[in-house]
Amino acid sequence: MTTWAIGDIQGCALSFDALLEAIAFDPAADRLWLAGDLVNRGPDSLGVLRRVMALGDRAVVVLGNHDLHLLAIVAGVRPPLEGDTFEEILAAPDLDRIVDWLRHQALLHYEEAIDTAMVHAGLPPGWSLVECQVRAGEVTDALAGTGWRDALQSLYGNEPSIWSTGLDPADRRRFTINALTRMRFVDAAGRLDFRYNGPPGSQPRELSPWYEMCNVGNVHVVFGHWASLGLTHLPRFTCMDTGCVWGRSLTALPVDPLGKPVAVECREEALP
């Protein structure tokens, strides 16, 4: 059995199919870890969701910012934005089933046996792994509950940009969402900064990539979200977003047992 981690698919169903073929994925024996942003901007988000849902427990998914954006649109919390490609999903006869499945996915996945965690964007400075699990679980519980539409009302906004134990529950959840699904750079105090999305080195000197400030010990953290960073191997961190929706490639990394990545060139024609 091999467990493969895959970065942001973002509606690129043809590329996803090609990658599964390239790694000879066998759902009877293998597993997928999908690092969020299954949907949006690519041409077939509905196809991606249906493929992943059909895999059942052979696929582990963490939510990304685009996945949450879809839930917020369905909940009436946010309007669609220019460039969104949710039309087919919103018109699908199985929309309710898709939304119910999506809102039950976690923000963070960790497997002790291989000491590896997966998150969409990153883990905030100052939090231990246990704290990350607890805070992520608060958001997961809110989205999985019957009041999920109301919970989404308070999850959007850039503030608070820094963690404090005195935050109220809504602010705690908002910070957690922003850190785990949107973060790239932070300052020396651990404050989240959303102005810069280029590769490390393009940011002002007072900012650092989040992983340089991460405090989760020797855990191997697999993440996506950062297409300008691309496939990056660091001693404890691996970025898996290789920019498929921007016409580059989609990449899978065997995390159990750990091995070499496999990539396919983007197969989609209609891209942003």
The CATH number given to whatever domain includes residue 236 is: 3.60.21.10
User: Per-residue pLDDT tens for 13-43?
Assistant: 999 999 999 999 999 999 999 999 999 999 9
Q: pTM for this structure?
A: 0.97
Q: Which domain holds residue 126?
A: 3-265
Residue 239 within a domain:
yes
Residue 270 within a domain:
no
Residue 150 within a domain:
yes
**Residues 207, 196 contacting (CB under 8 angstroms):** yes
Tokens of 204: 């002002």
Structure confidence at residue 149 as a pLDDT band (50, 70, 90)? very high
Residue 271 within a domain:
no
User: Per-residue pLDDT tens for 104-136?
Assistant: 999 999 999 999 999 999 999 999 999 999 999
- The angle subtended at Cα 85 by Cα 45 and Cα 224, nearest 5°, is 60
Residue 31 within a domain:
yes
Distance CA 270, CA 139 (A): 34
Average pLDDT over residues 209-236: 96
Residue 147 within a domain:
yes
Residue 259 within a domain:
yes
Distance CA 73, CA 152 (A): 10
Residue 272 within a domain:
no
How much of the chain, in percent, has pLDDT values that exceed 90? 97
